[in-house]
Amino acid sequence: MDSIYLNVKKVQEAGYKPALIGLAHNKKQCPDKMSVVAEKLADKDGGHNKFLESIVVWLDVCGPRYFWQEADTFRISTKQSESTMHTLTQELLNIDIHDEKAVQKFLKDNFEPESCSPETLRWIYEAAKTNDLIAVKKRLPEGFLQTRMWCMSYKTLRNIILQRRTHRLPHWKEFIRQTLEQLDHPELLPELSARVDKKDNCPA
């Protein structure tokens, strides 16, 4: 398998306490007792785990363009991303395109391993010099790394895990693994290594 790149960093997480208060209203019980109830209801869809919608996490994710194309399937979330024109072209024009070390460093910092050749980068450079945005985008490999701030609820994250934990694109397992390691309440979400029923599978 070719080398892949994906990096997830949790920026912030909020809403656990309000979610438990809301759950307490529903059960007419004390919020202090709701953490146990929340764990029991977390994997019960059909409205029983709607409190997960109140827990929100902000993730700073750097991955290749072809990963982001699939990530856009999950619409109950928001994303703010780097601009191709402002980040790629301006930084590229600041290097000496004839300096092999500078070219290799730029490739390492901006593209997934083995996804862009020095020759392709020089084509992009020539387009950037003339401020030809269309030509830049036409030549940009799918392995171009883009960072996005991805904001979603635990409910959306639950859907991602259930649908993508057996996906043939390895970036999804890596995304789930890194995310679960950083969350405050992973006990409310499915495990990456759990047995997957047929209903959980998502077509590749």
Write out pLDDT tens, residues 1-43.
468 999 999 999 999 999 999 999 987 899 898 999 999 999 9
Write out pLDDT tens, residues 1-11.
468 999 999 99
Looking up tokens 């006990």, which residue turns up?
Answer: 187
The reported pTM is 0.89
Instruction: Give 132's contacts (C-beta < 8 A, 6+ positions apart).
Output: none
CATH class of 7-80+147-200: alpha beta
**Phi then psi dihedrals of residue 12, to 5 deg:** -160, 155
Through-space distance between the first and last CA atoms of the chain, rounded to whole angstroms: 17
Mean pLDDT on 122-143: 92
What was the pLDDT predicted at 2?
64
CATH 3.30.1360.170 range(s) for the chain read 7-80+147-200
Task: Return the ∠ at Cα 33 (arms to 180 and 18), rounded to 5°.
Answer: 60
Distances (CA, A) of 47 to 19, 27, 113, 156: 14, 14, 43, 14
Kindly tell me if the per-residue pLDDT of 180 is higher than 80: yes
Mean pLDDT on 36-57: 95
Mean pLDDT on 61-80: 91
